[in-house]
Amino acid sequence: MGKSIIEKIWDQHIVNEEENKPDLLYIDLQYIHEVTSPQAFEGLRLKGRTVRRPDRTFATMDHNVPTVNRYFIEDDIARKQLDALDQNCKEFGIRLADLDSPEQGIVHVIGPELGLTQPGMTIVCGDSHTSTHGAFGSIAFGIGTSEVEHVLATQTLWQTKPKTLKLEVNGQLGHGVKAKDVILYVIAKFGVDFGTGHIIEYCGEVFRDMSMEERMTVCNMSIEGGARAGLVAPDETTFSYLKGRKYVPKGEEFERCVQDWKSLSSDQDAVYDQEIILDGSLISPMVSWGTNPGMASGVDGKVPTFAEEIIDSKELDRALAYMGLKEGMAITDIPVQHVFIGSCTNSRIEDLRQAAEMIDGQEVHKGVRAMVVPGSQRVKRQAEEEGLDEIFKSAGFEWRESGCSMCLSMNPDAVPSGEHCASTSNRNFEGRQGAGARTHLVSPAMAAAAAIHGKFVDIRKFKQAEQVH
């Protein structure tokens, strides 16, 4: 029987295998950020332990970072957390992309940019969106702080082998339908826990045709479907993205790596615990209307009604009350007061290009506050070189410094209570973007269009949507 890429990578990383124990799995790379690491370093200090592989650990500052004047941190506790990361990295000899670094940015944006994330690796971070790195054909998953400490000390984790799920999407996506719409469609269809206990392999034409940025968007949201990790087998798209990046092997060694990486692809006769096959041509641009990512509908659709019994009535009632929406209302009737283009899901250069193309000389709708928060300093510089910042600014968008920003509003960027935000982030949980904030998850193109129109619009109806695709 053949093996899937998931089993191949897993098996290559087993340090110890014995009865009645999970596998002791080697971790190739750990990313660190300020919010989920201080207690882990403190744990090491209390026990007099060291970091086993500082050379396989990389830190950045992203969650708490202000996006306007980044050196002016009003919140004392947030500053203390950033200072703690700085001190911990110095004490344990870990590379840190701090606020002064041209490499600073959201951990899941900079890792791939720097070429740290490579195919076949096991990668962890104290952040559930670590699944992003699966786009390169690695097993990458989020962990808690105790596990962060465990990996710092031992470079391993005790893990039971997850089940495998093959998610195949075939056909061609329609004009204006993006990677974000594909993953939101999947989660809306199968629920926020369909992937629990599994690693997803995304297969089929739709993912093959995607750029690395688009694959990252899809893998990023695996966790919103309950799967700790999701991946795409590496191919020429992956290799050409990686070639020449800072931490990627060069010259002949790169060619050797490519040969290795090619062998990771799932065997023809690989067997999965679950298989799902979908037709990509049926997917519309998506908008979430509720309080979890599964509560989403096509932009041409409606908020569900109680009579339809699609969602438990108590849950629907609570979601509609929080969101201030009525059952059965058209998605295009939802007003939008805020637009956030950013987050580890959609803040890369392609995402910003996608949003900028929708603007096409138009201006942000009266009463809408719109902002673009590039995922990293590198993305910001590149966007500025391409003149995207000017397109955004002249349309009335705010152009910010890089960080997690309004995805979870740990920094000062937040949506006021009761107001609606079209957001390219990953979670529409209650209070995520601020107490009482009403989040609607969309693609960057849909978010830009909502900024211009002050409500959700079906971008397939616009001519420029065809150019974007």
Partner 1 sequence: MEPITLYKGRAAVLDRNNVDTDQIIPKQFLKRIERSGFGEFLFYNWRFDEEGKKRPDFELNQPQNQNTSILIAGENFGCGSSREHAPWSLKDYGFDIVIAPSYADIFKSNCMKNGMVPVALTPSEVKHLMEAASAPDYELTIDLPNQTLRDDQGFEASFEIHPYWKEMLVKGWDEISITLQYDKAISAFESRTKAASTI
In what helix (H) or strand (E) does residue 14 lie, and over which residues does it extend? strand 14-16
- CA atoms within 13 A of residue 427's CA, in its CB half-sphere: 18
Residue of 107, 116, 356, 445 that binds partner 1 (CB under 8 A): 116
User: If binding is defined by CB under 8 A, does position 29 make contact with partner 1?
Assistant: yes
Residue 87: strand pairing partners? none
Q: Please say which residue, 167 or 395, places its beta carbon nearer to partner 1.
A: 167
* Region of 173-181, 307-315, 363-371, 379-387 interacting with partner 1 (CB under 8 A): 307-315
| Contact set for partner 1, span 39-68 (CB under 8 A) | 39, 42, 47, 49, 52-53, 55-56, 58, 63-64
User: If binding is defined by CB under 8 A, does position 280 make contact with partner 1?
Assistant: no
Q: Please say which residue, 173 or 415, places its beta carbon nearer to partner 1.
A: 415
Residue of 3, 86, 101, 153 that binds partner 1 (CB under 8 A): 153
Shortest distance, position 19 Cβ to partner 1, whole Å: 9
Strand ranges, E, within 259-396: 274-279, 286-288, 296-298, 338-341, 369-372
* Region of 135-143, 170-178, 182-190, 336-344 interacting with partner 1 (CB under 8 A): 135-143
Residues 6+ positions from 400 with CB-CB distance below 8 Å: 67, 68, 342, 371, 372, 373, 374, 413
* Region of 191-199, 231-239, 323-331, 332-340 interacting with partner 1 (CB under 8 A): 191-199
Question: Quick one: tokens of 243?
Answer: 């070639």
Shortest distance, position 138 Cβ to partner 1, whole Å: 12
Residue of 357, 389, 401, 430 that binds partner 1 (CB under 8 A): 430
Whether residue 451 contacts residue 339, with contact meaning beta carbons closer than 8 Å, is answered with: yes
Q: In sequence order, what DSSP letters do the residues of 387-431 get, joined into one string?
A: THHHHHHHHT-EE--SSSGGGTT-SS--PPTT-EEEE-SS---TT
Shortest distance, position 125 Cβ to partner 1, whole Å: 9
CA distance 12 to 248: 20
User: If binding is defined by CB under 8 A, does position 276 make contact with partner 1?
Assistant: no
Q: How many residues bind partner 1 (CB under 8 A)?
A: 73
Q: Please say which residue, 65 or 451, places its beta carbon nearer to partner 1.
A: 65
Q: Please say which residue, 95 or 302, places its beta carbon nearer to partner 1.
A: 95
| Contact set for partner 1, span 329-358 (CB under 8 A) | none
Question: Quick one: tokens of 177?
Answer: 């339908």
Question: Whose structure tokens read 């950045």?
Answer: 60
Burial class (CB in 10 A: 0-12, 13-18, 19+), 71: exposed
